Homo-oligomer: A and B are copies of this chain.
Amino acid sequence: MTVSEKTLANAIRALSMDAVQAANSGHPGMPMGMADVATVLFSDYLKFDPGQPKWADRDRFVLSAGHGSMLIYSLLHLTGYARPTIEDIRNFRQLNSPCAGHPENFELAGVEATTGPLGSGLATAVGMAIAERHLNAQFGDDLVDHRTWVIAGDGCLMEGINHEAIGLAGHLNLGRLIVLWDDNKITIDGAVDLSSNEDVRARYAATGWHVVSCDGHDTADVRRAIDEALADPRPSLIACSTKIGYGAPNKAGTSGVHGSALGEAEVAAAREFLGWAAEPFVIPEDVAAGWREIGARGAPVRAEWEGRLASNGQKAEFERRMAGELPAGFSLDAYIDSLIAAPQKVATRKASELALGAINDLLPETVGGSADLTGSNNTKTKSTGPLTRDDYAGRYIYYGIREFGMACAMNGMALHGGVIPYGGTFLVFSDYMRGGIRLAALQQQRVIHVLTHDSIGLGEDGPTHQPIEHVMSLRMIPNLDVYRPADVVETAECWELALKDATGPSVLALTRQNLPQLRTEKAGENLSAKGAYRLRAAKADRKVVLIATGSEVEIAAATADALEAQGIGADVVSMPSWAHFEAQTQSYKDDILPQGVLHASIEAGTTFGWERYASLRFGIDSFGASAPAEVLYDHFGLTAAKIAPQIAAALA
């Protein structure tokens, strides 16, 4: 190579400052500061092939400090990925450019994870590293043998999620995870010591990590540090001492260069300082050739790997798993038939465990877990032994008391591919990991959240533990499927739907308390797939449609009984999924929720939002209380004895 490493790195700096300048929006400081480190990583260490961005055994690279998106856009372009083109980069942050403000996995094949919300990228990378070791244990070194690399900033390290993520990584001893920390001592508000006096290195060491430091502008020193990290069996933190905005002679090293364009004058001064004479968005041919050479490193390695794959007995299964396809003919029909044959009264959390028993036997790709509520979430089944630092082949993760860490790790496993992650906690603690759930939805990843104790039905633990607004507030996250099944059969149906949707996450909201089996006849189809369906038709002349979800469908049925006894015809509609119902034809919707009769909703949560379907709404618009479940249902008026008279009165 005829071009110096400094010059290669300056290509990143030039593209970054020019793109931000053109958009007059963005974050030049990080890409300019970390350009040298990134150049070393891509030159000598990262295993990748721009021609095959989805090569299964590539290293994963996650830019956790996602605001520095021009770093990865520059690298992908320079090393020869089909996208982004230079035109894409010219249109940085403009509508329809894949070079969005923050890197998005659904825009560019070379972007492994959507980042920006600080800390979540690193936590996602932990999941990728788990998936890698897990698949390695299942498929062997020939097929799965790669690393996960992260570039993170001070923000990623200060966020609470960092503690959960590195705790999990340290516990599982994920030695193939290497975090390059952009230790520039600057945050948006100013110097890091304005808000932190933490010894980051000591904290990582306390959590089971290997820690090494280097001068982030001395490429030999960066290599030394990376080599040391590679040699250590623990996950590694490499503290790269850098100057934010390196190359901008007047602004580097200050928070002023973090999140704003440099300005024309400073861009010109940086060109001078860096000795970069090319026009904006022009890469001199020798520099471009140098980068293309780096990008070409991986193709022969991939070809070798393809050869190994071709002769591997597990080829078909490996490819199926990595493609995210369920085994041909996967179905829970037989299991559901067995439920119909022998009705039972169980909590839907228990119903979920039963379904998982069938699922985990059928699908070797599931990896379950819980944030320290295994016995309450009922997430562990016989076929899923623990995944530990000594046995990565296990299929159950004791995530510890780390809800957000769990959510992000699951996102990373799904993004890695080859694994379908599910994990449990109490529904109320979805608040702790809401940012992670949202990122699964945005990234279009199949991650399944098993959220139990889904209402006041959990009883005595009281308002801190009782979801009120949670189910409804999750329903409004785009691309998230929220299911609230009413019995053991619906629970199985909803699990099936969650598994079959490879394009987004699902939440299963499940009860602590037992529920009778309402579905006792063969349906011949997955009724929950309709989102809502008529569980019972009115016997008398229909005057009201009772719409309920989950544990309240039983109450709706009892209410219907009470009304029918008075000659008031009442349909009972079970609505396990709003999103699926919205996707039905208008005629189906009109059939289920016919005009001209009263619509009443019953759900043990906020009535906020039920205006969509019901003019009379039974629910809870305050916080809960501490008492046995049946006492609370009565206290909050959610019994047939209290609801039926109000409906009768409304019809009178």
Contact = CB atoms under 8 A, between A and B. Distances in A.
Contacts of A375: 188-189
A431 B160 CA distance: 13
Given A202-B202, A626-B102, A401 B155 contact: yes
Given A472-B476, A632-B95, A401 B187 contact: yes
Contact of A154 (B164, B207, B401, B626): B401
A587 interface: no
Contacts of A468: 478
B189 A171 contact: no
Work out how many copies of this chain go into the complex.
2
Interface string A458-471: 01111111001100
Nearest to A622: B478
A203 B434 CA distance: 26
Most B CB contacts (10 A, CB to CB) among A207, A432, A438, A463 go to: A432
Interface in A75-123: 93-97, 100-102, 104, 114-119
Contacts of A95: 625-627, 631-632, 635
A497 interface: no
A623 B479 contact: yes
A346 interface: no
Nearest to A399: B195
Interface in A536-563: none
Interface string A615-636: 0000001110111100110010
A34 interface: no
Given A95-B627, A463-B442, A469-B473, A171 B196 contact: yes
A437 to B, nearest CB: 9
Contact of A114 (B202, B372, B464): B464
Interface of A: 23, 25-26, 66-67, 93-97, 100-102, 104, 114-119, 154-155, 158-164, 167-168, 170-171, 187-190, 194-203, 205-208, 370, 372-376, 398-405, 428-429, 431-432, 434-435, 438-439, 441-442, 459-465, 468-469, 472-473, 475-479, 606, 608-609, 611-612, 621-623, 625-628, 631-632, 635
18 contacts: A94-B626, A94-B627, A95-B625, A101-B465, A102-B461, A102-B462, A117-B431, A159-B164, A162-B163, A170-B198, A188-B373, A188-B375, A189-B370, A189-B372, A431-B434, A473-B473, A608-B609, A608-B612
